[in-house]
Amino acid sequence: MQGFVKEFIQKTLELKAEPGVEVPTVASYGHYSSNVAMQLAKERGVNPRDLAQDFIASLQVADKDGVFTNIELAGPGFINFWLSSDWLREQLVKKYGKKIDGVNVGKKEQVIVEYSSINIAKRMHVGHLRTTIIGDALANIHEYLGYKVTRWNYLGDWGTQFGKLIAAYKLWGDKEEVAQAPIESLLTLYVKFHDEAKQGPTLEDKGRAEFKKLEDGDSENRKLWQWFKEETLKEVSVIYRRLGVDFDVDIGEAFYEKALQSIIKDLKKKGIAQESEGAIIVPLEEFNLPPALIQKSDGATLYLTRDIANLEYRLKKYKPSKILIVVGNEQSLHFRQLGAISQLMGLNSSELRHVSYGLILGADGKKFSTREGGVVSIEELLDKAVEMAYGVVSQKNPDLPEEERRQVAEAVGVGALKYNDLRENRNSDIIFDWDQMLNLAGNTAPYLQYTVARLRSILRKSQIPSTKFQIKKANLKLLDQEIELALMKKMLDFDDSVIVSAQQYMTSHLATYLHELSQMANQYYEQVHVLADENEERKLARLAFVDRVAAVLTKGLELLGIDVPERI
């Protein structure tokens, strides 16, 4: 409802700029608070409290419908607003009377979210977890906000390592083995190639030669490459299914290979790129950046070159208003260079955003190395989380049938892991810690899932068919407890949290909101015993209300990509 208050102030006071409105941390400062008078006092050369007083007079006159019960001056010049209970009830019905549809702030504009971006013939490890989870949630959030979202898994499917892999496969590979455990056996071949290559340069040459053949379209190598790709995707699809993640596009680096030479030629012609030490670079002094290398001295292209082609293709085909690239902040220089080059090329029609996040570090505080074996695979992480959740479910709720316990454990374990990443979307690094990742109490997904399960349990135990829970028909006047009104107000702030999450590309706002809503819901069923109510009309109204609280929490968790079991 922040937007509503903002609009009300802006219209009434005829302001050019959007006024600042926030939800105060202290309840006695009102439902909403604006610092608009303090912002404008200086340029108007008046005392902020006097200005606020004038504003309040106009606002009170403008509030003909009685939306606010109180508009008050406070502190150095804050204007604090209290919403009327009836208006809250009305809005609740308006917003949540049917299913929760979202808000159309995106106006069907295109947004491309690039995330996960795995490498072919490599295992998915903890490093891929953050990008996959954060990217998927951001995609969901943009969809809720009315954007047309394209989910893009930008595959690492090109490079000399594929020549090595093909060479290794031709030497020692076994079709059956690869088909059975693709990533495992391809990885083994790759490692073997490296070990053997230490004996002499002939093997390396062979790898390079195979890659050259692949580049030139040799049909056998092309087939092998395609097969490796398919098998890898088949294998990781199991993980994606467990994570509830799905992509619209999985075009990778290889796709752009053909476009690269003409891009380089074009950049040279326009004077954007130039030769240097046998390579081709784009100087970026004007952006205070080091020069970007787009072609090696041996003529080979680079990741950045392909990203330029990638950007060009996306702009042309999708005309997106935003491109979000969810990848760790170790690549921030790369994306700053890409952004600079896109400006030089005039490819800055859409917002190109590197959604970065901190690295996951080992216990020693150093970067996890992909090369060494010390990396935890995603399967291992998921299995461990689910196993732990299963233990807790079995202990807390032994009466649940075995199959349901398994399902609950999957939702709880995976949910806990996801929420752990989504509740904090900051740029500082994270030290990998099993205990913290698998924590199931406090500000975690299981707490939110538990809250919904409790709410649904109340509905179930009422023995009233769910079709009767109609907030439109309920007599909401009977809901007059402080906690009930506070909950209503909180529920109406849901969209704000989603909007801020999208604006700042930070899922933490939504996660924090859901935790707060959840805390209030827990207080609610602690304080108010719905089923014990002898007033049938009020009981039915409360059941309808409980149903909507659960619905908002469920929707929020859905946006975060977290499943909600009926019982837990």
Q: What is the 3-state secondary structure (H, E, C) of 449-488?
A: HHHHHHHHHHHHHCCCCHHHCCCCCCCHHHCCCHHHHHHH
Q: How far is the CB of 41 from RNA (least distance, A)?
A: 7
Binds RNA (CB under 7 A): choice among 204, 210, 231, 253: 253
Q: How far is the CB of 441 from RNA (least distance, A)?
A: 5
Q: How far is the CB of 235 from RNA (least distance, A)?
A: 19
Q: Which is nearer to RNA, 54 or 65 (CB)?
A: 54
Binds RNA (CB under 7 A): choice among 13, 431, 478, 485: 431
Only segment of 51-59, 137-145, 339-347, 525-533 that touches RNA (CB under 7 A): 525-533
Give the count of residues interacting with RNA (CB under 7 A): 101
Amino acid at 450: Y
Q: Which is nearer to RNA, 60 or 481 (CB)?
A: 481
The enclosing H or E element of 406 equals helix 402-422
Task: Provide the 10 A C-beta neighbour count for residue 48.
Answer: 21
What residues are paired with 322 via a beta bridge?
A: 111, 351
What residues contact residue 530 under an 8 Å CB cut-off, 6+ apart?
A: 458, 462, 539, 542, 543, 546
Q: Which is nearer to RNA, 56 or 74 (CB)?
A: 74
Q: Which is nearer to RNA, 370 or 475 (CB)?
A: 370
Q: How far is the CB of 513 from RNA (least distance, A)?
A: 10
Site for RNA in 168-227 (CB under 7 A): none
Site for RNA in 265-304 (CB under 7 A): 276-279, 281, 288, 290-291, 293, 296-298, 300, 302-304
Amino acid at 548: R
Q: What is the longest distance spanned by two Cα atoms in the chain?
A: 87
Site for RNA in 355-374 (CB under 7 A): 358-359, 361, 365-367
The enclosing H or E element of 525 equals helix 508-527
Residue pair 171/195 in contact (Cβ under 8 Å)? The answer is no
Chain centroid to Cα 280, Å, comes to: 36
Q: Which is nearer to RNA, 181 or 209 (CB)?
A: 209
Amino acid at 293: L
387 binds RNA (CB under 7 A): no
Q: Are strands 292-295 and 360-361 parallel, antiparallel or unpaired?
A: unpaired
Q: Which is nearer to RNA, 77 or 173 (CB)?
A: 77
Only segment of 182-190, 236-244, 377-385, 446-454 that touches RNA (CB under 7 A): 446-454
Site for RNA in 58-77 (CB under 7 A): 74-77
526 binds RNA (CB under 7 A): yes
Q: How far is the CB of 182 from RNA (least distance, A)?
A: 20
Site for RNA in 395-424 (CB under 7 A): 396-397, 408, 412, 423-424
Q: How far is the CB of 309 from RNA (least distance, A)?
A: 13
Distance separating alpha carbons of residues 71 and 55, to the nearest angstrom: 10
Q: How far is the CB of 385 from RNA (least distance, A)?
A: 11
Of 133, 138, 134, 132, whose CA–CA distance to 112 is shortest? 138
Binds RNA (CB under 7 A): choice among 28, 199, 463, 467: 28
In the shown chain, the binding pattern of residues 106 to 125 toward RNA, with x for contact by CB under 7 A and - for none, equals -------------x------
Q: How far is the CB of 357 from RNA (least distance, A)?
A: 10
Binds RNA (CB under 7 A): choice among 30, 127, 163, 556: 30
Site for RNA in 467-496 (CB under 7 A): none
Amino acid at 330: E
39 binds RNA (CB under 7 A): yes
Site for RNA in 315-354 (CB under 7 A): 329-334
Site for RNA in 137-166 (CB under 7 A): 156, 159
Torsion of CA 513, 515, 520, 522, to 10 degrees: 160
Residue pair 83/4 in contact (Cβ under 8 Å)? The answer is no
Site for RNA in 527-546 (CB under 7 A): 528-532
Q: Which is nearer to RNA, 149 or 506 (CB)?
A: 506
Binds RNA (CB under 7 A): choice among 186, 239, 245, 440: 440
Distance separating alpha carbons of residues 36 and 417, to the nearest angstrom: 41
Binds RNA (CB under 7 A): choice among 13, 62, 272, 458: 458
436 binds RNA (CB under 7 A): yes
Q: Which is nearer to RNA, 12 or 522 (CB)?
A: 522
Q: How far is the CB of 430 from RNA (least distance, A)?
A: 5
Edge-to-edge strand order for the sheet containing 32-34?
21-22, 32-34, 78-83, 68-74
Tokens 């209300």 — which residue? 545
| Beta strands in 270-424, from DSSP E residues, in sequence order | 274-276, 279-282, 292-295, 322-326, 351-355, 360-361
Binds RNA (CB under 7 A): choice among 98, 234, 241, 426: 426
Of 306, 355, 300, whose CA–CA distance to 331 is shortest? 355
Residue pair 302/260 in contact (Cβ under 8 Å)? The answer is no
Q: Are strands 430-431 and 360-361 parallel, antiparallel or unpaired?
A: parallel
Q: How far is the CB of 108 from RNA (least distance, A)?
A: 26
Residue pair 448/562 in contact (Cβ under 8 Å)? The answer is yes
Distance separating alpha carbons of residues 125 and 356, to the nearest angstrom: 18
Q: How far is the CB of 566 from RNA (least distance, A)?
A: 8
Q: Which is nearer to RNA, 102 or 156 (CB)?
A: 156
Q: Which is nearer to RNA, 265 or 426 (CB)?
A: 426
Residue pair 501/141 in contact (Cβ under 8 Å)? The answer is yes
17 binds RNA (CB under 7 A): no
Distance separating alpha carbons of residues 411 and 378, to the nearest angstrom: 16
